[in-house]
């Protein structure tokens, strides 16, 4: 398994040396909104990553902490409006990647039962969507976000 902490994948995405599928959609107040950096079973699976290398919610810089709620809410609205998500889950796990990130995971009317809720994290390789599907969803979200 790839070690995502050395070098740190969160830092690489924040610094632009790694481009997750969908790319960076918004950069604001020490946060980066981007597509999930692993094979995704859901179009529009977003991640909000801190630009600074911090471990968890408790040590987010003040500006990033202030921006977290508004930006997460704005991204969730874009998932509903641009992609017609029925619901948007939010998860801060951090068990694998030790750089603060918040997952915003959409649920659609046709999302299979095993991919709902935290089931999305247990997706099988066969569930992964084609990169072009994920890129198209990210482009629609970028338009919805005005970025
Ligand atoms: Zn990092």
Per-residue pLDDT of the chain (147 residues; tens, 9 = 90+): 678 999 999 999 999 999 999 999 999 999 999 999 989 999 999 999 999 999 999 999 999 999 999 999 999 999 999 999 999 999 999 999 999 999 999 999 999 999 999 999 999 999 999 999 999 999 999 999 987
Residue 3's pLDDT is what? 87
Domain 9-145, what architecture? 2-Layer Sandwich (3.30)
Domain ranges of the chain: 9-145
CA of 68 to the centre of ligand 1 (A): 17
Q: Look at the chain and count its residues.
A: 147
CA of 112 to the centre of ligand 1 (A): 33
Residue 38 to residue 60: CA distance in whole angstroms: 24
CA of 11 to the centre of ligand 1 (A): 4
Residue 2's pLDDT is what? 73
Q: Is 100 helix (H, G, I), strand (E, B) or coil?
A: coil
Residue 2 to residue 5: CA distance in whole angstroms: 9
CA distances from 9 to 1, 61, 81, 118, 144 (A): 14, 19, 29, 21, 26
Q: Quickly tell me which residue has 């600074």 as its tokens.
A: 52
Residue 38's pLDDT is what? 87
């Amino acid at each position: 398994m790839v070690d995502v902490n050395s070098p740190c994948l969160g830092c690489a995405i924040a610094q632009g040396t790694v481009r997750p599928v969908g790319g960076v959609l918004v950069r604001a107040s020490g946060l980066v909104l981007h597509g999930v950096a692993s094979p995704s079973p859901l179009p529009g699976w977003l991640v909000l990553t801190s630009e600074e290398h911090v471990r968890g919610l408790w040590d987010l810089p003040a500006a990033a902490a202030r921006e977290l709620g508004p930006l997460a809410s704005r991204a969730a609205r874009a998932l509903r409006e641009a992609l017609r998500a029925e619901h948007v889950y939010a998860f801060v796990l951090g068990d694998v990647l030790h750089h603060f990130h918040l997952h915003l995971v959409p649920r659609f009317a046709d999302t299979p039962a095993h991919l709902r809720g935290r089931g999305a994290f247990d997706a099988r390789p066969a569930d992964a969507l084609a990169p072009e599907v994920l890129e198209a969803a990210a482009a629609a979200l970028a338009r919805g976000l005005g970025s």
